[in-house]
Amino acid sequence: MPSTAPQRLAFIGFGEAASAIAAGLSEAHTGIEMRAFDIKSDSDDDAIREQLLTDCNAAGATACATLAEAIDGAELIFSLVTADQAAAAARSAAPLLAPGQQYLDCNSCSPGCKADSARLIAATGACYGDVAVMAPIHPARQRTPLLVAGEQAAQQQALLEGLGMNAKLMPGAVGAASTVKMLRSIMIKGMEALSAECFLAARRAGVEENILASLDKSFPGFDWYPRAGYNLERMRRHGIRRAAEMQEVTATLTELGMANDMARATTAWQQRIGDMQLDDSSTDLILQADTILERLGGRSG
């Protein structure tokens, strides 16, 4: 690891993304101190708190009881919470930050939200970075592509690259990286929602084979059956988080003076399926469709 790489890292939020990045960094480097704070540590559910400790230990991070403990002395702070909690995380962190600390807002929220958070962080003398995570966190983990924007983006990119992370500079002010992320999500999360509406309706009508055959003919090589199954699995597992992100996409489009019909419809589908809290691990399209249709109260087959 380069001598200029940061040695003390902190994570605000320790879900799938943070734990994957921390685990990758822990395996790739020795001598890094990583601390984490997640609101799950305040849960009344013993199982939730124990799972957080397990996740932190597995990733090589120390679970902290307070946010202050986690970020004290950290050179690089990764904020990786759900989109609807990004602003709250920045507000909570701001009074605890010291001049020179790097606060990387890696959350999927609108440019306006990030600009508001940046003003809070900058007022403390700490440095705010607008970071967009541009691909699924698995399997690349700490090597997942990132975009970094803002006044200190060049310095922050260098720090991330010093850790062996895959960060690219996005020219522009805070919000430039998040704009790319938000507008990309219209397509990525929108395709998931389209898959749900199309194939759930097809399964209910009993014409899924006809739909698949027609789509495979129109888009050869796209592999609709496994792709649509994967899309449904993503919505089942992460629909609530994706819905929160799509609400930020809706806000982004409003900030741009654009209609947001597709973003709002995508939000509804992501929330609807995420709320089902289906815990099976199947990625098979038909098996998932039948389970979801049963929850929706419709017939299938």
Asked whether the beta carbons of 150 and 170 are under 8 A apart, the reply is no
Asked whether the beta carbons of 193 and 246 are under 8 A apart, the reply is no
Q: Which residues have a Cβ under 8 Å from the Cβ of 47 and sit 6 or more positions away?
A: none
Q: Is 40 a catalytic residue?
A: no
Within a 10 A sphere around the Cβ of 259, how many other Cβ atoms?
A: 10
Inter-CA distances, 15 with 4, 39, 48, 112, Å: 28, 11, 12, 24
Tell which residue, 162, 168, 164, 96, has the closest CA to residue 129: 168
What distance in Å separates the CA atoms of residue 75 and residue 119, rounded to the nearest whole number? 19
DSSP β-bridge partners for residue 262: none
Q: What is the DSSP string of 198-262?
A: HHHHHHHHT-HHHHHHHHHHHSTTS-HHHHHHHHHHHHHHHHHHHHHHHHHHHHHHHHTT---HH
Q: What is the DSSP letter of 275?
A: T
DSSP β-bridge partners for residue 105: 79, 130
Neighbour-count burial for 33-52, b at 16+ CB within 10 Å, e otherwise:
ebbbbbbbbeeeeeeebeeb
Please identify which of the residues 40, 114, 181, 189 carries the catalytic annotation.
181
Active site residues: 181
